[in-house]
Amino acid sequence: MLGLPLAFTVPAVLGALVLLPALWFLLRVTPPRPRRQAFPPLRLILDERPRDETPARTPPWLLLLRLAVAAALVLAMAGPIWNPPPPSLGGSGPLALLLDDGFAAAPDWDVRVAAAAERLGEAGRAGRPVALAALSEGPRALAPVTAAAALDRLRALKPQPTLVDRAAALPAVRDFAAAHPDADVVWIADGLENGGARAFAEGLRFARPATVLAAAAPPLALAGAENRPDALAVTVLRADARAPGAGTLRAYDLKGLALGDAPFSFDGTAASATASFALPVELRNEVARVDVLGEASAGAVTLLDGRWKRRRVDVVTGASADVAQPLLSPGYFVTKALAPFAEVREVPPNVADPIGAALDEKPSVLVLADVGQVTGADHDRLARFVDEGGVLLRFAGSRLAGAPADDLEPVNLRRGGRTFGGALSWDKPKSLAPFDRASPFFGLTDRRDVTVSRQVLAEPDAGLPAHTWAALDDGTPLVTADHRGKGTIVLFHVTGDTTWSNLPLSGLFVDMLRRVVALGGETAKADDAGAAAAKPGEAAALPPTRILDGFGALGAPPATAKPVPAAFAGPGTADHPPGFYGPADALLAVNALNPGAALLPADLSGLGLAALPLKAAEPVDLRAALLVLAVVGFLADAVATALLGGGFTGLGARLPRLPGTGGRGAGTTAAALAVAALLAAGPGARPARAAESLPPAAVAALRQDHVPERDMEAALRTRLAYVASGDGAVDEESREGLRGLSRALTNRTSLDPGDPVAVDPARDDLSFYPMIYWPVVATAPQPPPAAVAKLSAYMKNGGTVLFDTRDALSARADGPPTPEAHWLATLLTGVDVPELEPVPRDHVITKTFYLIDNFVGRYNTAPTWVEALPPAPPEAVNRPARSGDSVSPIVITGNDLAAAWASDPDGEPLYPLVPGGARQRELAIRGGVNLVIYTLTGNYKADQVHVKDLLERLAH
């Protein structure tokens, strides 16, 4: 009545309320009160009043009081009940009781069972058969049984840890309704649209309208976690704004020990919130379970396995240190792509042994970006790292393309690179082919926009398809892998930057790296365990270990739980319920909801269904309260009548004035309080001043430091250096050649270098010298491994080594290598040498100071080799100079440059040239100047941004 939860047991009595207007007129008249007078006759005659005097009227407030008392009596006699019990179904046919038994029903499962038991009890009293159906059972036929049997089955039901698929159960309900047209249907819903609630409700619209019982607000749930760099972030979902707006999550490890709590709160009517566990990464990696406190539901639990751990990843790049554009380097792209889900550390290139330094950090994944051949102790440590379960991720590049083959590659590679879309290529850039179902990348999307312009090819042997994880649309591999021991070697056949492809610019690159990093140790074990459990010819599968029940408790797996594929990504189903699968040391977590899922409220409006609350409030009989109010009203009326009639002498005379009295009460005093905040000002600090000189103690410490005098001089003044070969004549030629080049630099450029210095790579610090001239002597002993390591570090830190074999007259293109060339090849075996090419005509090294075509010395027939540059883009064909992102760390020639540079203080040449002439000597000097300026200034001359400034300088 009136939209209120109010009912009357005897509603006919409410008709007496129409008599209240009549009572209004009857109760208005009040007889005059009697007066006490002395009997004296004269006094009695004088004060006699007329007989037809109008009696006094009843005060309005007293009249309203009497009407309220009368109304209370009428309402009490009608038997009012607040929150009356729901009406009975009233039918005589069978009752179909449908029960949502997914995880959303778990928090108030007892309430749902009580509501169902109440309907069963009502049907039992009416002698009606009952068909009870748990909707998680799917297409199971509904068979009517007695109410008692249905109640026994109801008490045995438990909520399931998954969402309910109502569509599977709808045909059985329709068949039951068709067989029993007079049946009543009661659906105890969980309030979620997930699982097709509205479609199911539309299917229930048959002859008799169905009754829907639903909770006021669906429960909370968790939709996965993200192990961010700073915290473990867990997403909390709600389907209705009436659900709790705040709460707490708790994280546990595999042993059930609590690791930390994290609060969450929803903003306004938001459907999701985030809770962050600000724990150290070591503790975050131990989290195996996160619960919503106070929510006993499998949906309020998220399980974490090794895929959610932030693994430590070290990145080693083969690029030199003096990268002019570091934001375009392979290390930058790889680091940025790994940062969202891994603890990434990029090893600085100035470390003497970057691979060893990375392995000392004990990473799960080691990334080698364009690192060529790995030899010596680093090779042995890398092989052991992979055998023990590590993941070695390699990216191709010019160094890998030019390096000899080694056993740390997943497949056999063809040396050199394959270029698409170049000036001499008929092919266009290739796109990615669909991922094979056996590939770890299967299921990833957004691959069609990825194109590849260059790649390192794999040898087409019989086992190549088994090692291919991703391929181009022409069938050539893009990503290959091989399991070695307990670990995996993965190779991207393109660079980690955008030089060879646009893959690093796509979101697919991040997803692919996420899948690769997830292999770190534990997934490999899971794959082995699944493969061992699988039968021959079947895909690897992981058996259930511990399964969540509907209330979110882990326990033994039920008999209906089936193994999941090793790459299963959820969510849980009836065959694969949420829980842990696989061996104890490599568990795979399956959750009720996947990351990115949402809870939607069910909208059943406009379907003609009778919607009732799942749990109605307890009925309250209002008769006693109304009778008490009536009695209190009677007492108040009696007191008021006595006062108005003259009773209570002294009060009756003043009482009529009470309704019109507006006496003043104590006034309230408004006070304003002004608060002034004073900022305490400390003593003024004097401005800091830089020390004008070092403290005496620091000066003394520097003097006591055993730094070679020539190193101190090289740090203060640029000098060229040459490697002492041990041959007196060769060393003299090198010294005089660099002296002559230094004098030319002083006379022709703004550079004023000091005297050249002879260095020993095994003993001296090479970092002070921008360019080192190394004359190759075939009879000299090979330098020790420590010297080779120092040389490799020097080249990676931006230094340039000019190797001069001085064998232009004896070298033949179609003949065996000269002794000098063989000696140099042996030296460079342990050095990460990039892919080399003869100096192109448009290379920036030919234009840094002079415009030259080749680098000549005593001879002019041998080519000069530098680091190979990436193919020029089509829009840059007309550029005057082309460069890479760094200075070539190595230059190789055989023209004996030092002999052509050598001269006495007067400028007279010291060695004859072949074929000779002043022009050849001048070109040799110009080439030497270009080499030095190139090592000092890099590739700025190739940047068209500076053309305007350069032209302005030339005009002045």
Residue 660, pLDDT score: 38
What's the Rg (C-alpha) of the chain? 46
Rounded to an integer, what distance in angstroms lies between the CA atom of residue 921 and that of residue 910?
Answer: 11
Estimate to the nearest angstrom the gap between the alpha carbon of 904 and the chain centroid: 67
Rounded to an integer, what distance in angstroms lies between the CA atom of residue 718 and that of residue 711?
Answer: 11
**Which of 250, 249, 294, 246 shows the shortest CA–CA distance to 266?**
246
Question: CA angle, 26 as apex, 21 and 29 as ends, to 5°?
Answer: 130
Residue 534, pLDDT score: 44
Residue 530, pLDDT score: 46
Hey, which residues does 252 pair with through a beta bridge?
258, 289
Strands (DSSP E) along 720-764, which ranges? 721-723, 757-759
Question: Measuring CA to CA, how many Å separate 597 from each of 446, 778, 884?
Answer: 20, 69, 46
Dihedral over Cα of 394, 395, 401, 402: its sign? negative
* Amino acid type, 102: G
Residue 427, pLDDT score: 61
Rounded to an integer, what distance in angstroms lies between the CA atom of residue 115 and that of residue 147?
Answer: 14
**Burial of 829: CB neighbours in 10 Å, binned 0-12, 13-18, 19+:** middle
In the numeric block, the tokens 């309220």 are attached to 68
DSSP per residue over 55-83, as a string?
A: PPBPPHHHHHHHHHHHHHHHHHHT-EEES
Residue 941, pLDDT score: 57
**DSSP-derived secondary structure letter, 424:** T
Question: Measuring CA to CA, how many Å separate 607 from each of 100, 189, 199, 603, 614?
Answer: 19, 15, 10, 10, 19
Rounded to an integer, what distance in angstroms lies between the CA atom of residue 223 and that of residue 234?
Answer: 7
Rounded to an integer, what distance in angstroms lies between the CA atom of residue 733 and that of residue 744?
Answer: 16
Which H/E stretch holds residue 346? strand 342-346
* pLDDT tens track for 929-956: 999 999 988 766 555 555 566 566 656 5
Low-confidence ranges of the chain (pLDDT < 50): 1, 52, 54-55, 421-426, 522-539, 649-695, 697-705, 876-877
Question: Measuring CA to CA, how many Å separate 662 from each of 217, 618, 640, 657, 658?
Answer: 50, 45, 20, 10, 8
Rounded to an integer, what distance in angstroms lies between the CA atom of residue 130 and that of residue 834?
Answer: 81
**Which of 601, 582, 580 shows the shortest CA–CA distance to 591?**
580
Residue 30, pLDDT score: 54
Residues in the chain: 956
Residue 425, pLDDT score: 45
Residue 687, pLDDT score: 34
Per-residue burial over 604-642, b = 16 or more CB atoms within 10 Å of its CB, e = otherwise: beeeebeeeebeeeeeeebbeebeebbeebeeebeebee
Neighbour count for residue 794 (Cβ, 10 Å): 22
Q: Are 521 and 389 in contact (CB under 8 A)?
A: yes
